[in-house]
Amino acid sequence: MIPVIALIGRPNVGKSTLFNVLTRSRDAIVANEPGLTRDRQYGVGVFSGRKFIVIDTGGLSGEKQSLDDLMARQTLLALGEADQVLFIVDAQDGLTSGDRVIAELVRKSGKPAIVIVNKVDGINPDQAQADFYAIGFDKTRVISAAHRKGIKPLLEELLESCPQNQQESIATSGPSIAVIGRPNVGKSTLINRLAGEERVVAFDQPGTTRDTIAVPFERRGKQYTLIDTAGVRKRGKVHEVIEKFSVIKALEAIEKAHVVILVIDARDGLTDQDLTLLGYALNSGRALTIAVNKWDGLDQEQKDLNRKALQRRLVFAGFAAQHTISAQHGTGVGELMGSVDRAYISAFREFNTRHLTDLLEEAVFKHNPPLHKGRRIKLRYAHQGGRNPPIIVIHGNKTEHLPDVYKRYLMGFFIERLKLRGTPLRIELKSGKNPYASNPGNSNSTRFSRGKQKKKS
């Protein structure tokens, strides 16, 4: 299992800042104004090769009369999902009555928790911690999320207590395929259609699937494992206790799968929840195929409008094949599995270093990197750095100054020339070190003095 860490605390104590630091993203909005985060937000972090899921929550005021509002319910759901709780407090404010109320909620959850004393800049760390010993937690740590102080030892402590087998795959044989989507879009019907029998419950009511189910099956002599996941609802509508684990299980299924099928309801079009799931699959680097289900229920005008809307809104996932299907009647399902096979093969391909370097030289020849402070950024050679997704590592000089637009150009160029289908591609840049960079003056003077000696002789 992938460790799940929930960030809990009053508004404006730095939860979203810490979320961005842990996930190395800017997904959470950060501003010096309380109450910006209202729904739970999920992100993935990586530390020392290990993945973990982080949940950012809306701030709790600590007022008892407000504990039944939407943000309070979202926070309580996050507590239920978490393996570890980081209870964040503000060193500048000291211990408040709101902190005491939230501490009681965390304690009642029974989850292991660490009190994180944030914003300790300019304050003695021992003094900052002393105020918060009164709320009775065994572990208290001081950090500055804004300046990334104390983050590394905190992560070491968190992951040390978590199991090491979170990278295990659900698949028992063959490629594992996670089928994800909102409730009632036809995920279970699609799996039954692919498996050729009634393997999972399919019912016209949202929330029928409560857990993640692995379904082994064979198609044309090849083994697969389909992963049926509970539908992910709009977070404000997740109230039932049994359903509060559905989101995390779906996200874990994405992490463990080789290929993801995102099922979209053709009648609703592409919703915000579909985009959230799609973004998580892309951030995880998974090969992807998009299935637009219930297509047969639309008239021709609706089909034309929906097709144009999908092409426009999914331009950032252009590598993924889109299929219009009817899981109930089987229309288009065979072509869907063909795209899944191609995506899986592309995600696990191996590339020769010489070939990648030749392609890099061709890309640079067609479109040179820009200048940085009057000097050309040089890209020298490339090699493969990983699979699922394919990672291409490019070495050169001043690569850290390469603009994002040129990185996207390289990404598109390699995807096209390597004929990758259905999988994202990641580019990693590394700059070589000049052996004389530490002391260029001595190097030049040595060569110059040697020249003088030759002239004298």
- pLDDT at residue 69, as a whole number: 59
Nearest in space to 243 (alpha carbons), one of 111, 105, 73:
73
In this prediction, residue 11 carries a pLDDT of 87
Phi-psi region of 388 (alpha: psi -120 to 50; beta: other; left: phi over 0): left
Spell out the domain ranges in the chain.
Answer: 4-160, 176-347, 353-431
Contacting residues for 323 by C-beta, under 8 A, at least 6 apart: 289, 290, 291, 292, 332, 335, 336, 339
AA letter at 196? G
How far is it, in rounded angstroms, from Cα 239 to Cα 352?
Answer: 51
Cα(181)–Cα(208) distance, integer angstroms: 13
pLDDT at 435 (0 to 100): 44
Give the pLDDT of residue 44: 79
| Topology given in CATH for the domain delimited by 353-431 | GMP Synthetase; Chain A, domain 3 (3.30.300)
Rounded CA-CA distance 80/78 in Å is 5
Cα–Cα distance, 46 to 337 (Å, whole number): 31
DSSP string, 170-189: S-SSS-EEEEE-STTSSHHH
Q: What fold does the segment set 176-347 form as a domain?
A: Rossmann fold (3.40.50)
pTM: predicted TM-score of the whole model, two decimal places: 0.66
* Alpha carbon of residue 384 to chain centroid: 21
What's the full length of the chain, in residues? 457
**Same topology between domain 4-160 and domain 176-347:** yes
Superfamily the domain 4-160 falls into: P-loop containing nucleotide triphosphate hydrolases (3.40.50.300)
Cis peptide bond N-terminal to 3, omega within 30: no
Helices and strands, counts by H and E, the chain = 13, 17
**pLDDT under 70: residue ranges of the chain:** 1, 25-40, 61-74, 162-173, 197-213, 228-247, 249, 433-457
Q: What is the pLDDT of residue 243?
A: 39
